[in-house]
Each structure stands twice: as structure tokens, then as C-alpha cells.
Amino acid sequence: MEGTDISQLKAGDQHYLAYVGPPDQYDFMGATQFRLLCTLGLRANHSLLDFGCGSLRAGRLFLNYLDEGRYFGIEPNQWLIEGAINKMVGRDLVAIKKPRFDYNSDFMTNVFSERFDFIVAQSVFSHASGDLINIALHNFKASLKPTGIIVATFFKGDSDYDGSGWVYPGCVSYRHSTIERFAKEAGLFIAQLPWYHPRQTWYTFSIDQGRIPNKSMLQHLSGAVLFSPEFADSWDKTSKGAGLIRKSAPGVWAKSIKKGLKKLIEKGGP
Ligand SMILES: C[S@@+](CC[C@H](N)C(=O)[O-])C[C@H]1O[C@@H](n2cnc3c(N)ncnc32)[C@H](O)[C@@H]1O
């Protein structure tokens, strides 16, 4: 895929920068996962399972941060990991940090014989049927330290996907109450997080209720991004409607933002 024009790719295309989501948000979607886990207390000596790690969108940041042997990735599409290592991460970092990868597609997390401090599954359950989510959460629990933390995203909707198997690159939605039921059935405590996501909703799970953020902690989990018009609705609630317009008519949004910025620049700022 050398020489590919990234701007021509769309989410789900067979390119390591596109297969995992919108290519123009590849950087952001990696950074926001890293920022969330650091805010939840991830330290360099912790062990992290990046479940469905794809092309190391977040993994490349975790790899740099974590100590040797602390990053674990599960991803059935090995070519995504190889693409990321060849084009972004480099063999030297792999030799230094010694990440471990497994390519199973059975939601098996005991393959490393490790209990994790953190498990992240970003945009995995948004493609999975309820029976797969049940298997995954049961396995996550068995691979989690007693004080460990799981974070995962869901497409929260008004109805539940009742089909089977893996849906890709399409997405499936679940009601909040169904997501809570998944947690209950796996024997996990759960909370919805206010951490910003441009399309989905973040949830956290733990065996230990003490690892579920309380109200005063939740206010620190906004995930806001300042000075980036694309993500203005992460902090400016009045731009929510504008966010919807942006999603349905990106050209219109880009034009209005540019106009607004031009005005500000001409005026010398507010
Ligand atoms: C939307 S991508 C998200 C990738 C990554 N979590 C990120 O945020 O960049 C979903 C990923 O799940 C992977 N996947 C598909 N089936 C899987 C399975 N059975 N177990 C784990 N991951 C799977 C896909 O190959 C893909 O890389």
C-alpha cells in the first residue's frame, strides 16, 4: 500500500491506518485511550492488555510508556500489528519493550498466563454480538487482577443488536441497561464514564467496587480536547448540535469553523 493517499481511505479499508477506524482520526483515537488510562492511574510498571489492539493505534503510545514486558496485545489480524511495527513503531522498540502478541479470535485472554492491571477494548464490543461480549467479559474477569480495571467502548443506542457473531466494519448498538446486564452476568461492577468519544460511549468495569470512580472522580474524566474545532463538542456543550451537523455534513462544518476562526484571527482573538 506504499504511496496510498490516506485522505482517499475510509474506515474499514484494508490499510493499517484505515482498517481500525476513520484514518483522519487515527492519532486522536490512540491518544485519547492513552490519556484515559493514565488518568485512571496507569503507571509504567503496570501490565496492560490491549484487546483487539489493531494497528497499535493506542499500542504505540503504551509501548513507549510501559516498562519492558508490560504490554500485551490480542489481535486476529496479524497484518495490522506488522504494518504498525514496520511503519511506525520500529523493531528497535519491540526489541527493547518486548511486547507480547496473540492472534486468537476466540476472545481467549488466558493465553499469556498473566493477570492484568488494566484491560482496554476500544471499539471491539461495538462490533460484537451479545454472546461474544458475554464470553469476552467472563474471560476479562478471569485475567484481571482483583484490583484491576477494564475500560471498553460501546455504541449506546435505543435497541439491542440481537444477531450473532462479529459485525465489521459495520457497528452494533446496545441499550445502557443491556450493557449493565452484561457486567452483572460477568460478576463485574460497572460505570459509564463521561470521557469524550466522538461516536461511542466509554464504560469501566472492575471486580473491586472501590475501583469504580465515584462522583467526585468522574468530574476529572472529561477527555476534553481544547483548540481543536473537530472535537469542540468534547467541552463546549453548545456545539453539540454543531457536532451533529459536522457528522452529517463535514464540508459545511469545516467551512463554518474556518469562517469563525478567520473572524477571530482578524479581530485578534475574543
Ligand atoms: C475498530 S478496531 C479497533 C482497534 C483498536 N482497539 C483501536 O482502538 O485502534 C476493532 C479491532 O478488533 C479486531 N478484532 C476482530 N475480531 C476480534 C476478536 N475475535 N478478538 C479480538 N479482536 C478482534 C479487529 O481486527 C480490529 O483490529
Q: Looking at the structure, do residues 121 and 166 belong to the same domain, yes or no? A: yes
> pLDDT per residue over 82-110, tens digit each?
999 999 999 999 999 999 999 999 999 99
Q: Looking at the structure, do residues 193 and 242 belong to the same domain, yes or no? A: no
In a domain, 237, yes or no: yes
β-pairing, 189-192 vs 201-206, is antiparallel
Please determine, for residue 1, whether its predicted confidence score (pLDDT) is greater than 80: no
Spatial CB neighbours of 250, under 8 Å, sequence gap ≥ 6:
none
- Is the shortest distance between the CB of 77 and ligand 1 below 6 Å? yes
Q: Looking at the structure, do residues 211 and 239 belong to the same domain, yes or no? A: no
- Is the shortest distance between the CB of 109 and ligand 1 below 6 Å? no
Q: Which domain holds residue 238?
A: 229-267
Percent of the chain with pLDDT strictly greater than 70: 87
Label residue 37 by pLDDT band (50, 70, 90): very high
Q: Looking at the structure, do residues 253 and 135 belong to the same domain, yes or no? A: no
At 240 the pLDDT is 56
Beta bridge partners of 144: 116
In 10 A of CB 230, how many CB atoms?
Answer: 17
- The span from the CA of 74 to the CA of 109, in Å, is 8
Mutate to test the pocket of ligand 1, among 14, 16, 48, 75 (most ligand atoms within 8 A of CB): 75
Q: Looking at the structure, do residues 12 and 123 belong to the same domain, yes or no? A: yes
In a domain, 12, yes or no: yes
Strands (E), the chain: 48-51, 71-74, 100-102, 116-121, 144-156, 173-174, 189-192, 201-206
Residue 253 is inside which H or E element, if any? helix 250-267
111: domain CATH number is 3.40.50.150
Residues 31 and 45: beta-carbon distance below 8 Å: no
Phi, psi of 208 (to 5 degrees): -100, 115
Q: Tell me which residue of 95, 30, 19, 78 sits closest to 56, measured CA to CA.
A: 30
- Is the shortest distance between the CB of 54 and ligand 1 below 6 Å? yes
Q: Looking at the structure, do residues 173 and 244 belong to the same domain, yes or no? A: no
Interhelix angle 250-267/240-248, rounded to 10 degrees, is 130
In a domain, 247, yes or no: yes
Please determine, for residue 269, whether its predicted confidence score (pLDDT) is greater than 50: no
Share in percent of the chain as helix, strand, coil (round to 5): 45, 15, 40
In a domain, 104, yes or no: yes
In a domain, 36, yes or no: yes
Spatial CB neighbours of 256, under 8 Å, sequence gap ≥ 6:
242
Please determine, for residue 67, whether its predicted confidence score (pLDDT) is greater than 90: yes
Q: Looking at the structure, do residues 244 and 132 belong to the same domain, yes or no? A: no
7 or 40, higher pLDDT: 40
At 3 the pLDDT is 63
In a domain, 87, yes or no: yes
Label residue 124 by pLDDT band (50, 70, 90): very high
Q: Looking at the structure, do residues 174 and 244 belong to the same domain, yes or no? A: no
- Residue of minimum CA distance from atom 4 in ligand 1: 54
Which ligand 1 atom is nearest residue 166's CA? 16
3-state secondary structure of 267: helix
- Number of folded domains in the chain? 2
At 261 the pLDDT is 34
In a domain, 1, yes or no: no
- The span from the CA of 149 to the CA of 203, in Å, is 10
Q: Looking at the structure, do residues 239 and 128 belong to the same domain, yes or no? A: no
- The span from the CA of 63 to the CA of 99, in Å, is 7
Q: Looking at the structure, do residues 258 and 155 belong to the same domain, yes or no? A: no
**Among positive and negative, which fits the CA dihedral 24, 29, 34, 40?**
positive
Q: Looking at the structure, do residues 212 and 235 belong to the same domain, yes or no? A: no
- Is the shortest distance between the CB of 122 and ligand 1 below 6 Å? yes
In a domain, 224, yes or no: no
Please determine, for residue 265, whether its predicted confidence score (pLDDT) is greater than 50: no
- Segment 210-235 shows an average pLDDT of 97
Residue-averaged pLDDT of the chain: 90
- The span from the CA of 222 to the CA of 215, in Å, is 12
261 or 187, higher pLDDT: 187
Q: Looking at the structure, do residues 194 and 255 belong to the same domain, yes or no? A: no
